[in-house]
Amino acid sequence: MSDAATPPSVPGFLPPDAAAPGALAGVRVVDLARVLAGPYCTQILADHGADVLKIEPPGGGDETRGWGPPFDAQGRAAYFLGLNRNKRGCTMDLTQPAAREALLALVAQADVLVENFKTGTMEKWGLGPEVLTARFPRLVYARVTGFGADGPLGGLPGYDAAIQALSGMMSVNGEPDARGGEPLRVGVPAVDMVTGLNAAIGILMALQERTRSGRGQFVEVALYDAALSVMHPHAANHLLDGRVPRRTGNAHPNICPYDTFRTGSEPIFLAVGNDRQFATLCQHLGAPELAQDPRFTTNAQRSAHREALKALLEERLAAFECKPLADRLVRAGAPCAPIQDVPAALADPHTAHRGMVVGVGEHYRGVASPVKLARTPASYRLPPP
């Protein structure tokens, strides 16, 4: 890496006439983030046209490059590949003064800076939000943290699974105690992903406000806050009547029938949200009398008698194969689905129809942006750097 006397070689932003298509064309982003929440945020921006420069430390870069197997032919882990497309990249050792000067030159041209260093790191380098937003008044400075900068847990590092445990998320995930269940981590990094989404939303809010005020601002999103924000309906239930949420397996705490049910083949997931849908389900199972049973006429009654209802439904479901039944029910207006694994979901004809698996070049494939804009859709231009 360069010493203090020799500035590092850093690519600049694209000229305006080379801006990518998309709703965020012309928005320039300095991406100092690594691992998941920050890179997911900046990939959202990049997919929709922002010019994102991903800056990694020398000596290995973003640690998710090594979070495998699997690895691609260049030795990059799938974990890294899934979060960093549509970005250009370089390395900079920000412990060195020359690198910090080079970074400042980039920030002078940028609209957004995103980082998730340990709290205080950017301030130690003289690059904290107060310094940069004073020097560059239009800059939107976005920081992803574990717990925020202050408070009882302020400044501490945060990791998805640990915050799932701390936020109550694990306490409501898993089989009930009666079945020998224990709290379980959600099988995807839900806290990191929702933090990345909130960071992208916050950045877009700040950019929108800048069109009125002409000024950028500091955006902070903490994993802890984001985890609490998605604890619905468990948090709402507790705040209303003090109940302590419990693990219910696949069953919903407020809605019934909303659970997995045995059929004559593989299990089906029923997601019946109202009385009309329940009547439709019963009709298609050849048991219309269940919809008239006083125990099951309303959602509140069904929830109070959920074990009896599940037993009665599974008696009827035993006569049906899952996938043909699921297709008939959902088309009739009773929400449900077979339980697919990841390969089946990615190969599903509707996945193809929605364009949800995309490629760049010969070697990169990934899951597409779920945001479908009519005039300025997402585009997939660059493989991960």
For domain 258-339, the CATH architecture is 2-Layer Sandwich (3.30)
Q: What is the pLDDT of residue 21?
A: 87
In the predicted model, is pLDDT for residue 7 greater than 80?
Answer: no
Q: What is the pLDDT of residue 27?
A: 96
In the predicted model, is pLDDT for residue 1 greater than 50?
Answer: no
Cα gap 168→349, rounded to integer Å: 36
Q: What is the pLDDT of residue 6?
A: 42
**Beta pairing, strands 336-338 & 268-271:** antiparallel
150 is catalytic: no
In the predicted model, is pLDDT for residue 269 greater than 80?
Answer: yes
**Beta pairing, strands 357-360 & 336-338:** unpaired
Q: Could you tell me the two tokens for 18? A: 């080379």
**Residue 190, helix vs strand vs coil:** helix
Q: Could you tell me the two tokens for 51? A: 């010019």
Q: What is the pLDDT of residue 370?
A: 97
16-229 topology per CATH: Rossmann fold (3.40.50)
In the predicted model, is pLDDT for residue 2 greater than 60?
Answer: no
Domain limits of the chain?
16-229, 258-339
In the predicted model, is pLDDT for residue 265 greater than 50?
Answer: yes
Q: What's the number of CA atoms in the CB half-sphere (13 Å) around residue 383? A: 12
333: left (phi > 0), else alpha (psi -120 to 50), else beta? left
**Residue 284, helix vs strand vs coil:** helix
Residue of 31, 51, 62, 192 marked catalytic: 192
In the predicted model, is pLDDT for residue 3 greater than 70?
Answer: no
What interhelical angle do 275-284 and 322-332 show, nearest 10? 140
Q: What is the pLDDT of residue 196?
A: 98
